[in-house]
Amino acid sequence: MQNPYLPYPVRIDEIITETEDKNLKTFKFVFLNKEDEEKFAYRSGQFAELSVTGKGEIPIGIASSPTEKGFVKFTVNKVGLVSTFLHNMKVGDIMGIRGPLGNSYPWEMLEKGKNVVIIGGGFAFTTLRSSIVYMLDPTNRPKFGDIHVIYGARSPGMLLYRDELAKWEARSDINVHITVDGTDDPGWKYNVGFVPAITEKKAPPADENTYAIICGPPVMIKFTQPVLDKQGYGHHNIIMSLENRMKCGIGICGHCNVGKEFVCKDGPVFTLAQLNRMPREY
Amino acid sequence: MTDARHAVRKTGRHQAKANRQLLYKRVESMKVVKIDKKKWDQGLAALKGVYRIFSPVKMKDAFEFKALEENENPDLGGLNTRLSAKGLIYPQTEAMFTYTLDESREDHHIMSPVETDYSPRAVIGLRPCDADAFLLVQRNFDTPQYKDPYWIDAYEATTIVGLACENPCSTCFCTSAGSGPFNETGLDVLMVETKDGYILKSVTPKGESLIAASGWNDEISPEEAQKQIEPLKTAAEQKISSVVETDQLKNKDAMTIYNAPFWDDVAFACINCGTCTFVCPTCWCFDIQDETHKTEGVRMRNWDSCMFPLFTLHGSGHNPRGEKVQRVRQRFMHKLKYYVDKYNDGIQCVGCGRCVRACPVNIDIRKVCSLMNQPENATCAAQS
Ligand SMILES: Cc1cc2nc3c(=O)[nH]c(=O)nc-3n(C[C@H](O)[C@H](O)[C@H](O)COP(=O)(O)OP(=O)(O)OC[C@H]3O[C@@H](n4cnc5c(N)ncnc54)[C@H](O)[C@@H]3O)c2cc1C
Ligand code: SF4
Ligand code: SF4
Ligand code: FES
């Protein structure tokens, strides 16, 4: 019997400070045992429990893409006990990761030529990065229709993955709309405005083959949803990823339920149509 | 490295299994034996040679399960135990892994499995409701996708000898909750107290092995046993005065019950002490914590409770069930609706009545269940 609580041992290979407030860092991990990397076969939208030995575990979305081999990446916000300790760890340190966990975005369905609109805000862009890299992989790109990305942060210095964003922005096979709430940088060449406003201007028209994936802080979601409603997006075509406090990540410890669903096992990805029928306990 | 660790755990499991298979071989057919009170001690001593025995024992102010010492006897005469038997399979606090932070050690910062004793154990004298509860929670710990090795190994190592409940409490409603005072589901052996001793009826091969190992061999025919047991069973069932309707729970829309008007009244007096969840045989939630002393540590799991605000508190400060009424509703919705919808096999409650007896403010699941079963009739009768 495989023990589902046993983390795979990993080594921190690289740490990148992502944002100007230094509260977000990306950790690149390498598996100590090569076989474990194969066992950790994942899909974009899944998460893992990062196990900081002696402190505990935190569920974090997988930011690398299944098409990137030899490592896995996570971007972690400094919040409380475990994430703060992790922020102080060094390249070469040993810890664990457990997963992959959760359901993922509905790739099987999306890969049948669907148009995908990614809408992200703040640091909730990690599994969206994974998804973009995955879709842009040359073998995968033909499986999708048009791809739009709308991504916003408070200021240019708070955007995650800035180098990659710039590269995607310059490509013709993906429409990237980067925005910030405000900036005094005269060289800023992208949008200024909140994500809902940019969505109103830039999101493609709704049709049944177009799916919006939204991840962001609650206020962003609250104001973006009416915009999508107005544009005619059906609730089956709006996909969201939930967060709830977690411990086991495998549907056993009881911490993360929303109604009869476990965010960790039945989610974290749900359509808005599903969420409409669930208690708002997230 | 990891594989060697898995191997250690496997050996433990296989050993326990092999022991049991040895026992199975000595048995030919299901049997029923009669025990004279005089032969009780002798058989118990024989069982102690094969199993670690756990039984109710009278403690300071209540009966609780405990591992019997060499000369210790179970106290089978009392009321049901205050805590359920769940802790025998799923301890209140349990080590999952150990680790070292000492960087001079090769495996520093890597979790190692703990060595747990999964040699054969027997629980003697738990009530049928507690045994049935194991089957309800098994769905949570032993799933097609994930297996909780701690729970499964402990459950497999355990032989369950249930004592038929001839004096149910006034708070018991097991017959409404899919169980019953003489219910055999989840038992390996049913034990019935008679005028001059006990009748032990094996229900499973595991139970057969236990009877064989005890040396109690005064066999009686199943028909004879039935003749003696039946009247006792009927008498016990008649003593259960609480009847709770659960028939509409399945058909009602979850959100209708969730949004029903009675939750504020139900929750009003609750002080969120969590007692109801700790005493309950079918509450299974846990927390995971690392405990480090100098450089050595243990990853533990501990019972947790949906009644505590911390249970759902996000790192950001947001709390999806920050209000007491949300937590009280969660407990009842989980047991009486979410579970019903998820597994389509009744409620997540065996009617043992412990939560009713232990609640300091008299919140009564039987009343709440009736409200939930007929939410359209509910006005605000939670405490009436
Ligand atoms: C599916 C999912 C994906 C996530 N992805 C990311 C991500 O990519 N990047 C990121 O920075 N954060 C992410 N989070 C949130 C992250 O898990 C919490 O910020 C983190 O657990 C806080 O832990 P802490 O020990 O620092 O805080 P503390 O407040 O000290 O928390 C103590 C413990 O409570 C639990 N906990 C607390 N808050 C949360 C929470 N919001 N969600 C789940 N468990 C919690 C954890 O077990 C944590 O160790 C995600 C959460 C979920 C559920
Ligand atoms: S909910 Fe109450 S009555 Fe039901 S099994 Fe738990 S403790 Fe017993
Ligand atoms: S035992 Fe009673 S008061 Fe305590 S948490 Fe349960 S319902 Fe509330
Ligand atoms: S985190 Fe344990 S059930 Fe979801």
Query: Domain map of chain B by residue range?
Result: 3-239, 254-377
Range 8-27 of B in CB contact (< 8 A) with A: 9-10, 13
pLDDT in tens, B316-348: 899 999 999 999 999 999 999 999 999 988 999
Same-domain status, A90 and A148: no
Regarding the beta carbon of A82 and ligand 1, being less than 6 Å apart is answered yes
- In the structure encoding, which two tokens stand for residue A107, read together? 């790739």
Expressed in angstroms and rounded, the spacing between residue B130 Cα and the centre of ligand 4 is 24
Same-domain status, A122 and A209: yes
Residue A127 lies in a domain: yes
Sign of CA dihedral B363, B369, B372, B377: negative
SS3 A201: helix
Cα of B33 vs its chain's centroid, Å: 26
> So what's the pLDDT on residue B4?
32
Contact of A75 with chain B, judged by CB distance below 8 Å, is answered with no
> So what's the pLDDT on residue B382?
46
> So what's the pLDDT on residue B178?
81
Stretch B32-41: mean pLDDT, rounded?
A: 89
Q: Which of A41, A76, A100 is the last residue of a domain?
A: A100
pLDDT exceeds 60 at position B10: no
Q: Among B186-190, B195-199, B258-262, whose mean pLDDT is lowest?
A: B195-199
Nearest by CB to A247, from B288, B320, B337: name it.
Answer: B288
Contact of B49 with chain A, judged by CB distance below 8 Å, is answered with no
CATH of residue A71's domain is: 2.40.30.10
B130 DSSP assignment: H
> So what's the pLDDT on residue B325?
96
Residue A246 lies in a domain: no
Instruction: Report the interhelical angle of A162-169 vs A126-136 (nearest 10°).
Output: 40
Question: Element (H or E) spanning A230, and its range?
Answer: helix A218-231
Q: Atom of ligand 1 at shortest distance to CA of A101?
A: 1
Q: Report how far residue A132's alpha carbon sits from residue B27's, in angstroms, rounded to the nearest whole number.
A: 63
Same-domain status, A147 and A96: no
pLDDT in tens, A205-221: 999 999 999 998 888 88
Same-domain status, A27 and A79: yes
Q: Atom of ligand 3 at shortest distance to CA of B277?
A: 6
pLDDT exceeds 60 at position A173: yes
Per the rule left: phi > 0, alpha: psi between -120 and 50, beta: everything else, B11 is: alpha
- In the structure encoding, which two tokens stand for residue A241, read together? 């990823």
> So what's the pLDDT on residue B379?
59
**HSE (side-chain half, CA atoms, 13 Å) at A82:** 22
| Host domain of residue A184 | 107-241
Length in residues, chain B: 384
Q: Report how far residue A258's alpha carbon sits from residue B254's, in angstroms, rounded to the nearest whole number.
A: 12
Residue A82 lies in a domain: yes
pLDDT exceeds 80 at position B16: no
Asked whether the beta carbons of residue A54 and residue B254 sit closer than 8 angstroms, the reply is: no
- In the structure encoding, which two tokens stand for residue A79, read together? 């919040």
> So what's the pLDDT on residue A140?
97
> What b-and-e string marks burial along A145-154, b requiring 16 or more CB atoms within 10 Å of the CB?
eebbbbbbbb
Asked whether the beta carbons of residue A54 and residue B321 sit closer than 8 angstroms, the reply is: no
Q: Atom of ligand 4 at shortest distance to CA of A248?
A: 2
Q: Which class for A70: exposed (0-12), middle (13-18), buried (19 or more C-beta within 10 A)?
A: exposed
Regarding the beta carbon of A245 and ligand 1, being less than 6 Å apart is answered yes
Residue A206 lies in a domain: yes
Question: What is the Cα gyration radius of chain B?
Answer: 23
Regarding the beta carbon of A202 and ligand 4, being less than 6 Å apart is answered no
> So what's the pLDDT on residue B172?
85
Residue A20 lies in a domain: yes
- Say what the ipTM of the complex is: 0.93
B383 band by pLDDT with thresholds 50, 70 and 90:
very low
Query: What's the domain count of chain A?
Result: 2
Concatenating the DSSP letter of every residue in B321-378 gives: T-SHHHHHHHHHHIIIIIHHHHHSSS-S-----HHHHH-TT---HHHHHHHHHSGGG-
Expressed in angstroms and rounded, the spacing between residue B323 Cα and the centre of ligand 3 is 14
CATH of residue A113's domain is: 3.40.50.80
Contact of A78 with chain B, judged by CB distance below 8 Å, is answered with no
Question: Element (H or E) spanning A168, and its range?
Answer: helix A162-169
The answer to whether the CB of B371 falls within 8 A of the CB of B328 is: no
pLDDT exceeds 60 at position B7: no
